[in-house]
Structure 1
């Protein structure tokens, strides 16, 4: 949440060195706390550490393109993303917006227009955060879920990795998506129908046996004793949930 007494963190993911230098200088001159990176894969790591409150994102990046970064970033962060791109084709804009971009600005652009869009995006994010906090009492999602201490269950959303009992656990893409839905909604019971629709799609909304099979697979991989689950709990006849994260959970 944006507050008047702290600098807002903005991450610039920009391949062009001149544009990157320009953005950093202009944002710092206006008292924003900024970090910049030119590589999409490095941007994923930096975003997890820096936890930006807004991202300025170029699409043409080495290693990992901007759309792929956006897809990864949206797995754990709701921070607004403004795309700054030379691509003005409608399909590219639609793809970026569908993946979770909040705004799209075509290069070249004026500095005043960019700053106006930054102000609007931050204001909307602040209002959304206030509403979320008043309704749920919870802050925005963090890129790390940890339950049960160092040797418990750890889900690193930024790097799509899972550890249990201190060991990395290899999950199938569907198993990981199912676990992410549960851990992103920790403490809340998700119904069978909700989980099936979110992970597999609307055509699977009645496949409860299918869901039970995947929960059983996850318990075998993650639980010290699958018969006495610590993490993946069942609400009989309703759905599944995982406990709230440890109170002292912080970023590595």
Structure 2
């Protein structure tokens, strides 16, 4: 069923977008054919029940429809005329972690053995929600809002100068820190609702709406910030 582009957002934009930060015991992993240690993961949270209004062209082509078997009101036939549809983000479910590819790697700093250092200046990295299958513009926008809180699907993370980074233990002499974007794979569930004006003859007497079902989108890749380190011996 063909949809046209987003016509308006029906959400309140003063919601703050939360983040989830994990900085537990560093985890050694083998990634991109190299040994790295994940020291921090930061994950942006989306907007609960984010919604987007749009026009469903197929519904427009249906034209006004008679209610029931053609009930007659005081002014004529009772009918309904389609006005618009709404996508509302319901929920999501993660299906796989760290599916890659890891992108936007940024060198942060190098710290010597036994030392603690801070960044000399802030560093920013960003990532964008990726879809493994074709998704319409309106549906993509509401999924982006529900998953990361941005209609474009792009989120930015910043490393500040206030955080300290520690050097390695012997026998290593230096530890390099990097920031990057990694992806988790999700399934997103969006509810559709179709809205109509009710007419008694030619006079509008009210509104009504009907469920258009739930749209399930698999293979949605959500970006998250990872901080990782590499230890080495400088000769």
TM-score, L = length of structure 1: 0.16
Larger fraction in strand? 2
Kindly indicate which of the two structures has a greater share of residues assigned to helix: 1
Q: Which protein is bigger by CA-based radius of gyration?
A: 2
The higher relative CO (CA closer than 8 Å, separation ≥ 6) is in: 2
